[in-house]
């Protein structure tokens, strides 16, 4: 069991005695008995997150004049530019080879990705996933040879992540394959599919 020692300290605001941990006193964190006293001391001082004191108009003018003097000096401007270029170069770090980038990408693909949904994926997302993996989009339909409105069609209507279950067809052939063309026909009994 660890024993935490505390020492008696006087509050900087009201003078009241309170117990504080020695390491907090050394860091200047525990100098007041309560949050009310802490806030009373902070009035007129910068809040820890504000980044500093508010500057008076006179101080702002002086700083502005000094900055103009610095940047009007060509030597200073050149040294400042070189220094900033060096800082940027140092922050840039090292570059990864294309092979390393491919390996890193492979570790985050499919099941290894945090956002992977598996078979619960939506219609559009599945089509986009297949489009990214099918190499070479044909410019003509595989059935009729039309070059207009080429769609990605699922063969089995089961929407699996199997590349052999997908092909590119024109809109008309796609609708005929999916048997959606029947919904558009008025005389369904006499309609025939001709290619």
User: Does residue 27 lie in a domain region?
Assistant: yes
User: Does residue 139 lie in a domain region?
Assistant: yes
User: Does residue 141 lie in a domain region?
Assistant: yes
* Cβ-contact 9, 20 below 8 angstroms: yes
Q: Looking at the predicted structure, is the pLDDT value of residue 187 above 80?
A: no
Which of 165-189 are b and which e, b meaning 16 or more Cβ less than 10 Å from the residue's Cβ? ebbbbbebbbbbbeeebeeeeeeee
User: Does residue 109 lie in a domain region?
Assistant: no
CA atoms of 92 and 183, how far apart (whole Å): 59
Residue 179: its pLDDT value, please? 80
User: Does residue 128 lie in a domain region?
Assistant: yes
User: Does residue 106 lie in a domain region?
Assistant: no
Q: Alpha carbon 92 to chain centroid distance?
A: 19
Residue 12, domain extent = 7-42
User: Does residue 108 lie in a domain region?
Assistant: no
pLDDT digits (tens, 9 = 90+) for 74-124: 887 788 788 777 766 655 666 778 898 888 888 888 788 888 888 788 889
Residue 90: its pLDDT value, please? 59
Which of 10-23 are b and which e, b meaning 16 or more Cβ less than 10 Å from the residue's Cβ? ebebeeeeeebeee
pLDDT digits (tens, 9 = 90+) for 161-180: 888 899 999 998 988 888 87
**Phi/psi at 19 (nearest 5 deg)?**
-90, 135
Residue 1: its pLDDT value, please? 54
pLDDT digits (tens, 9 = 90+) for 146-158: 888 898 999 888 8
pLDDT digits (tens, 9 = 90+) for 24-52: 777 777 778 888 887 777 766 655 545 55
CA atoms of 100 and 77, how far apart (whole Å): 39
User: Does residue 1 lie in a domain region?
Assistant: no
Residue 39: its pLDDT value, please? 75
Other beta carbons within 10 Å of 134: 14
Number of domains in the chain: 2
């Amino acid at each position: 069991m660890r024993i935490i020692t505390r020492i008696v300290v006087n509050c900087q605001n009201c003078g009241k005695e309170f117990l504080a941990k020695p390491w907090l006193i050394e860091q200047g964190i525990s100098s007041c008995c309560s949050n009310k006293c802490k806030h009373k001391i902070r009035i007129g001082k910068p809040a820890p997150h504000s980044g500093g004191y508010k500057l008076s108009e006179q101080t702002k003018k002086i700083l502005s004049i000094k900055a103009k003097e610095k940047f009007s000096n060509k030597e200073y401007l050149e040294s400042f530019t070189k220094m900033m270029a060096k800082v940027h170069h140092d922050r840039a770090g090292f570059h990864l080879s294309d092979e390393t980038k491919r390996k890193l990408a492979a570790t985050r693909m499919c099941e290894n990705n945090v956002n992977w949904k598996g078979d619960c994926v939506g219609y559009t997302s599945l089509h986009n996933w297949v489009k990214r993996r099918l190499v070479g989009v044909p410019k003509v339909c595989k059935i009729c040879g039309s070059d207009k409105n080429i769609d990605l069609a699922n063969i089995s209507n089961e929407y699996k992540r199997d590349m052999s279950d997908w092909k590119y067809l024109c809109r008309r052939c796609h609708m005929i394959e999916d048997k959606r063309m029947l919904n558009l026909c008025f005389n369904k009994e006499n309609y025939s599919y001709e290619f």
